[in-house]
Amino acid sequence: MLHLKNQFIFAPIKLGYSNNKGEVTDKHLIFYRARAEHLGAVIPEPLYLDKGLRELPTQMGIDNDDKIEGLKKLNHEIKQFGTKTIAHLNHPGRMANPKIPGNYHVSASDQICENGGAKPRSMDRADMDYAISLFINAAKRAKEANFDMIELQFGHGYLAAQFLSPAVNQRSDEYGGSLDNRMKFPLEIFDAVVKATDLPIIVRISGDEMFPEGFHLEDMFTFSQELEKQGAAAIHLTAGTACSTPPWFFQHMFIKKGKTWEMAGQLQNKINIPVIFVGRINSPKDIEQINGNYNRPYIALGRALVADPEFAGKYLGKKEGRIRPCLACAEGCLGGVKSGKGLGCVVNPQVGIEHDMPNKADKTKHIAVVGGGLAGMQAALTLKERGHNVDLYEKEKLGGQFNLAWLPPKKDSLKEIVDYYKLELKSQNIKTIHKKVTPEDITGNGYQEVVLATGAEPAVPPIKGLKTYYWSEFLHDENLPEDKSVLVIGGGLIGAEISSKLVDKNNKVTIVEMLDEVARGMEMIERKFTLAKLKKHDVEMFVNHKVTEIINDHQVLIEDKAGNTKTLNKIDKIVIATGMKSVNELQYDLQGKIPVHIVGDAIKPAKAREAILTAFNAAKSI
C-alpha cells in the first residue's frame, strides 16, 4: 500500500521552470508549495536521468549528485504538510527533444516517430545496460534527496513503452516479437531499481496506446501482473503516446472523458495492488463517480491543480471557495511549456506566481467595470477581492465573445469558465447592470475609476461588392446551413472553427487566407485535429490569396501574391472571418474626467488567457 493521507496525488507535469542546469528553482518551490497541503502525494515533474535525454532545456534533473541538495529542498517544501513525494524517473528514448544540443536518441529500433524527431539508434546490450545504470543511479539519488517513493515511466511512448509497443519495437532478438519478449527490458529496469533502493515503486503505464498498431489493455493486464509479482507498489494508468496519440497523453478536450477511468477500473479487477486513476478528473462530480464506481482508488490530478491549486482542499472541505475549473484546453499549460515560457494557464493568471496574491487596497474605491466578458468579470472579481465596491456593466450576455468559444465541435468544456465567473459574481454580490454604457453612466454615478473591458468586434475588410455576409452565426446549430457552398474569407482561428462546424452538415467549404497557413494561433493539438478534419472533408484552401471582389451573389474573385486571379463560382454564402478590432471608444469620452484602465481585447484582440491576465494585473494595481 502507499499509505497516503488522502487519495489525491499530483500527476507529473513538465513545468519548464528550471534553469538550463536542471536545478530546482524558487519557481518550483512556489508552485508545489501552493498545491501540496491537501494532497496525499506529489509527483514533481519528470526528472531527467542524463543531460543528453532532456525533453525540455528547462527540465529538472536527477542526473548528478549535485542535484540532491535542490531536490531535498523541494521535498522539504512539499513534505512539511505531511504530503509524500514521488520521484518520477523517465528515459524518453527516441522522444528526447531533438532541438536540445547534445541530446542523444536510442530506442528499441531505429524507427523515427512519425510526427517528427531524431532517428534513434537501435539499442545494443551496452546501451541497455547504460540505460539501466541511469535508472539505478537516479533511484539512489531520489532516496538520498528524501523522496518517499519512485515512479517509473513505462508508458506514454517513452523508452520502456518503445520496447513494449509492437508498433515501435521491430527487434528480432529476445527483446522483440512476443509480448513476453517486449516486456523483458522494462522488467529488467524494474528489477534493477528494486535492487537499488528500498523505496516503494509505482509504475506508470499507458493502458492502451490508442492506435491500432500499438499495445492494448489486455497486454497491460499481463504486464501489470508481472510487475505486481516483482514487487510494484501500484500501477498508475494513463493512455496514449507522446509520438502517435498526444491528445490521449494530454487528455485534451477533444477526447472523451472517462476512457482511462474505465481501463483503470478493469485493471483493478486483475491485480491486487492499487491502481492510480488519472485523466480529466477535474470536478467533484468526477471524483464522486470514480469513488462510487471503482472502490475508492487513488486519483492523480494534473491540470485541475494547475487551474486551481486548492482543488483538493476545496473538494475535501478544508478550504473555502468555488473550484476554478480546468477546461482541458491545453492552451496555457502545454502551450506555455512548448513555447519555452513555462507552464501557465488560461483560467488561472497566478500560475507560478502564487506567492504574489492580490493584496487589500489601501483605500476602498467605487469602480465601474464596463463589459462582462472574461476580462470584465475577472477584473470585477479581483477588484472586489481587494476591497473595492464594484458595479459591472454588460450590454448583452455575461461571457461576451467567449460565449462563441464553446460552440465549435468538442469544445463544450470551455463553457465551464463562464459558468464559474457568473456564480462567483453572484456569490461576491457584485452588481451586474445590463445596459449599453454612456459616458454619463460613468461620470454621473460617483465612480472614482473605470475599467474598460469592452472587447472587440469583427473587422470587415473593404472588399469591392461585399454586401451580404455572415460572421459567427454558423457557430449556432440552429443557423448552420446544410448542403451549401460556403466561402470563408479568413482562415485564422475563427475561420477554421466555423469551417469545422460547416463540414459537419455536408457544406462544401472554401477558405481564402492571406497568410501562408490556415488555423494559425490555434492550440497545437486542436490545430492538428481541425486541419485533419478539414482535409478529410475536402475543404479547398487558398493560402497566400486574398478576395478582391464579390462579383455577384455567387461569384468571387481571388488573387494570389503574384497577382494571378481566379474566379470561384457557385458560392451560396460568404463568411467573413478576417479578424477582430478593439472596441474602446468610451476611453475618449472619459479622458481627463476619471482614471481609465483598459483590459482584454479592448487593448488588442487576443485570446482568453491574455484577457484574464491583463484584467487581473490591472485590477491588482488599482
Residues contributing to the site for ligand FMN (CB under 6 A): 11-14, 46, 153, 156, 204, 238, 250-251, 278-281, 301-304, 333-334, 337, 343
What residues have CB less than 8 Å from 429, skipping those under 6 apart?
none
Distance CA 572, CA 22 (A): 57
Handedness of CA 362, 368, 370, 373 (dihedral sign): positive
328 lies in the binding site for ligand SF4 (CB under 6 A) = yes
Distance CA 358, CA 345 (A): 17
35 lies in the binding site for ligand SF4 (CB under 6 A) = no
Cβ distance to ligand FMN smaller for residue 267 or 518 = 267
Q: Catalytic pick from 32, 48, 158, 315?
A: 158
Query: Is 550:467 a contact under the CB 8 Å cutoff?
Result: yes
The listed partner (ligand SF4, ligand FMN, none) that binds 167, CB under 5 to 8 Å by sort, is none
Q: Is 57 helix (H, G, I), strand (E, B) or coil?
A: coil
Grid cell in block for residue 545: 490569396
| Interacting residue with ligand SF4 among 123, 232, 300, 327 (CB under 6 A) | 327
The listed partner (ligand FMN, ligand SF4, none) that binds 153, CB under 5 to 8 Å by sort, is ligand FMN
Cβ distance to ligand SF4 smaller for residue 44 or 117 = 44
SS (H, E, C) 495-549: HHHHHHHHHCCCCEEEEECCCCCCCCCCCHHHHHHHHHHHHHCCCEEECCEEEEE
**Cβ-closest residue to ligand FMN?**
302
Number of residues that bind ligand SF4 (CB under 6 A): 14
- Beta strand 580-582 with 456-458 is antiparallel
Binding mask 261-300 for ligand SF4 (x = CB under 6 A): ----------------------------------------
Site for ligand SF4 in 486-545 (CB under 6 A): none
56 lies in the binding site for ligand SF4 (CB under 6 A) = no
306 lies in the binding site for ligand SF4 (CB under 6 A) = yes
- Beta strand 485-489 with 573-576 is parallel
Shortest Å distance, C-beta 49 to ligand FMN: 13
Q: Where are the alpha helices (DSSP H) in 23-124?
A: 26-36, 68-79
Grid cell in block for residue 490: 479568413
Grid cell in block for residue 397: 450576455
Cβ distance to ligand FMN smaller for residue 303 or 324 = 303
330 lies in the binding site for ligand SF4 (CB under 6 A) = yes
| Interacting residue with ligand SF4 among 120, 265, 313, 332 (CB under 6 A) | 332
333 lies in the binding site for ligand SF4 (CB under 6 A) = yes
The listed partner (ligand SF4, ligand FMN, none) that binds 156, CB under 5 to 8 Å by sort, is ligand FMN
Phi–psi pair at 183, nearest 5 degrees: -80, -20
What is the chain's length?
622
516 vs 157, 491, 561, 565, CA distance in Å?
32, 10, 10, 17
Shortest Å distance, C-beta 13 to ligand FMN: 4
Site for ligand SF4 in 65-94 (CB under 6 A): none
Q: Where are the alpha helices (DSSP H) in 356-430?
A: 374-385, 415-427
- Beta strand 449-452 with 596-598 is parallel
Site for ligand SF4 in 571-600 (CB under 6 A): none
SS (H, E, C) 189-249: HHHHHHHHCCCCEEEEEECCCCCCCCCCHHHHHHHHHHHHHCCCCEEEEECCCCCCCHHHH
Residue with cell 533511484: 139
| Interacting residue with ligand SF4 among 47, 142, 275, 326 (CB under 6 A) | 326
Shortest Å distance, C-beta 348 to ligand FMN: 13
Cβ distance to ligand FMN smaller for residue 280 or 314 = 280
208 lies in the binding site for ligand SF4 (CB under 6 A) = no
Phi–psi pair at 353, nearest 5 degrees: -125, 40
Shortest Å distance, C-beta 306 to ligand SF4: 4
DSSP at 477? G
Shortest Å distance, C-beta 63 to ligand SF4: 28
Cβ distance to ligand FMN smaller for residue 14 or 508 = 14
329 lies in the binding site for ligand SF4 (CB under 6 A) = yes
Query: Is 359:387 a contact under the CB 8 Å cutoff?
Result: no
- Of the listed pieces 221-229, 287-295, 330-338, 448-456, which binds ligand SF4 according to CB under 6 A? 330-338
| Interacting residue with ligand SF4 among 88, 105, 141, 303 (CB under 6 A) | 303
Shortest Å distance, C-beta 303 to ligand FMN: 4
Residue with cell 517513452: 158
Binding mask 422-461 for ligand SF4 (x = CB under 6 A): ----------------------------------------
Cβ distance to ligand FMN smaller for residue 207 or 491 = 207
588 is catalytic: no
How many other CB atoms are found less than 10 A from the CB of residue 535?
Answer: 10
Grid cell in block for residue 618: 490591472
Cα angle value 224/230/236 (rounded, 5°): 35
Cβ distance to ligand SF4 smaller for residue 322 or 581 = 322
Shortest Å distance, C-beta 505 to ligand SF4: 29
Distance CA 496, CA 531 (A): 8
Cβ distance to ligand SF4 smaller for residue 208 or 331 = 331
307 lies in the binding site for ligand SF4 (CB under 6 A) = yes
How many other CB atoms are found less than 10 A from the CB of residue 477?
Answer: 10
Shortest Å distance, C-beta 379 to ligand FMN: 27
Task: Please name which of 432, 358, 396 lies closest in space to residue 622, comparing C-alpha atoms.
Answer: 358
Distance CA 184, CA 157 (A): 16
| Interacting residue with ligand SF4 among 36, 95, 267, 345 (CB under 6 A) | 345
Q: Is 515 helix (H, G, I), strand (E, B) or coil?
A: coil
Residue with cell 473595492: 388
The listed partner (ligand FMN, ligand SF4, none) that binds 346, CB under 5 to 8 Å by sort, is ligand SF4
Distance CA 568, CA 460 (A): 20
Residue with cell 512556489: 30
The listed partner (ligand SF4, ligand FMN, none) that binds 11, CB under 5 to 8 Å by sort, is ligand FMN
Grid cell in block for residue 338: 512548448
The listed partner (ligand FMN, ligand SF4, none) that binds 332, CB under 5 to 8 Å by sort, is ligand SF4
Residues at the contact surface with ligand SF4, assessed by CB under 6 A? 303, 306-307, 326-333, 345-347
Q: Where in the sequence numbering do the catalytic residues fall?
A: 158
